[in-house]
């Protein structure tokens, strides 16, 4: 079955919103749903970063939007790692969850207003279906990944999306530092 990459991305966005509501309204589900949320967001981000963003940048003219989205991914991943360190019934968890919800909601709204419409209008149905298949495979491969545990190759893809110079010559730790800077906005 063929799936349009834009539709798949938006389905993930709706699932993340549903998980946010569950986590806010049912604290007793946090031990089960927090890792689910983190795993889904990391897998979704990896699939966008490796398959979708390069095409959005090169074929759909969304270069500035992709760089901004990549920065937001880095910020979200940092926040998710911090959320996983919180006790589920603590005020710190509530505060960190609000930060995650705010950051991810902002990202989703921007992406659905800029990058996705650009892809829908500038890429053929066939190309979006091809990307949908690639997105789904990469996403499936990364479900369950832990925030902050990207491989060097994944960090390199993120750096390219940001337009970082000389990224290919950087070590994994150098790439991690650059991505942390991007995620913190410094």
Residues whose CB falls within 8 Å of the CB of residue 181, separated by 6 or more in sequence, listed in order: none
Residues whose CB falls within 8 Å of the CB of residue 176, separated by 6 or more in sequence, listed in order: 150, 155
Give residue limits of the domains in the chain. 5-184
The one-character DSSP state at 49 is I
The tokens describing 148, both together, are 């902050």
Length of the chain: 186
Give average pLDDT by consecutive 10-residue segment, the chain, 186 residues: 91 97 97 95 93 88 84 92 95 98 96 92 95 94 79 79 79 77 59
| pLDDT value at residue 186 | 47
Helical pair 30-47 and 5-25, crossing angle rounded to 10 deg: 160
């Amino acid at each position: 079955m063929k799936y349009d990459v834009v539709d798949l991305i938006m389905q993930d966005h709706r699932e993340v919103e549903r998980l946010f509501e569950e986590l806010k309204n049912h604290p007793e589900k946090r031990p089960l749903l927090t890792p689910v949320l983190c795993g889904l967001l990391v897998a979704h981000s990896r699939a966008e970063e490796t398959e979708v963003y390069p095409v959005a940048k090169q074929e759909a003219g969304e270069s500035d939007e992709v760089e901004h989205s990549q920065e937001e991914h880095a910020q979200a991943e940092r926040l998710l790692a911090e959320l996983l360190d919180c006790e589920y019934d603590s005020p710190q968890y509530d505060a960190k969850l609000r930060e995650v919800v705010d950051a991810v909601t902002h990202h989703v709204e921007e992406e659905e207003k800029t990058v996705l419409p650009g892809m829908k209008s500038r890429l053929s149905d066939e190309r979006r279906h091809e990307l949908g298949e690639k997105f789904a495979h990469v996403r499936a491969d990364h479900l369950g990944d832990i925030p902050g545990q990207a491989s060097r190759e994944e960090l390199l893809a993120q750096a390219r999306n940001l337009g970082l110079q000389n990224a290919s010559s950087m070590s994994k730790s150098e790439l991690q530092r650059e991505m942390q800077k991007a995620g913190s906005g410094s």
